[in-house]
Structure 1
Amino acid sequence: MFAKIFLLTALLIGVSCRHIQIVHRPNAYVQDSTNLVEDDLEDLYSEQEFESVHPIYLTPRVRRQAHGVLNSNPDGSMNIMGKLPLAGNNNNALSAIGGISGAKPGGFSSASAGLALDNVNGHGLSLTGNHIPDMGNQLTAAGKLNLFHNDHHNLAANAFATRTMPQNPVIPNFNTYGGGLDYSFNNKLGASLSAAHTDLFKRTDLSAMGNVNLFRNPTSSLDFNAGVSKSISPFIPKQSWQPAFGLSYSRFF
Structure 2
Amino acid sequence: MEARGSLNFNLDKSKNLAMSLSKDPITAGVFVNGYKDGNPNAFPKPTGDSFTSAGASLSIQRPPGGLSLTGTHIPDFGNQVTTSGRANILDANDHKVAVNAFTSRVHPSGPTPNYSIHGGGVNYSFRDQLGASASVSHTPIAKITEHSISGSVNLHKTPTSSLDLNAHTSRMQTPFGNSPWQHGGSITFRKQF
Q: Under TM normalisation by the shorter chain, which class is it?
A: 0.7 to 0.9
Q: For the residues of structure 2 that align with 1:126 and 1:148, how far apart are their CA atoms?
A: 21
Which amino acid is 2:18 matched to? M
* Bigger RCO (CA 8 Å, 6+ sep): 1
- TM-score normalized by the length of structure 2: 0.85
Find the partner of 2:3 among 56, 66, 72: 66
Q: For the residues of structure 2 that align with 1:71 and 1:251, how far apart are their CA atoms?
A: 11
Q: CA RMSD in A?
A: 2.0
- Distance verdict in 2 for CA 1:150–1:82, change over 3 Å: farther
1:137 matched residue in structure 2:
79
How far has the Cα of 1:118 moved from its partner? 0.6
The 4+ residue runs of structure 1 with deviation greater than 6 A are none
CA contact (8 A) 2:88 2:98 kept: yes
CA contact (8 A) 1:161 1:176 kept: yes
- TM-score normalized by the length of structure 1: 0.66
- Distance verdict in 2 for CA 1:153–1:250, change over 3 Å: same
Q: For the residues of structure 2 that align with 1:155 and 1:247, how far apart are their CA atoms?
A: 24
Contiguous gaps of at least 5 residues in structure 1: 1-63
Matches for 1:18-33 after TM superposition, within 5 Å:
none
Is 2:55 the counterpart of 1:118? no
Find the partner of 1:187 among 128, 141, 147: 128
Find the partner of 1:178 among 113, 119, 130: 119
How far has the Cα of 1:99 moved from its partner? 1.9
Q: Percent sequence identity over matched residues? A: 42
CA contact (8 A) 2:171 2:178 kept: no
Secondary structure in 1 aligned to 2:51? coil
Q: Mark the structure with the bigger radius of gyration.
A: 2
Matches for 1:142-181 after TM superposition, within 5 Å:
142-168=84-110, 170-181=111-122
Contiguous gaps of at least 5 residues in structure 2: 38-48
- Distance verdict in 2 for CA 1:81–1:176, change over 3 Å: same
Is 2:189 the counterpart of 1:249? yes
* Count of aligned residue pairs for this structure pair: 182
- Richer in helix (by share): 1
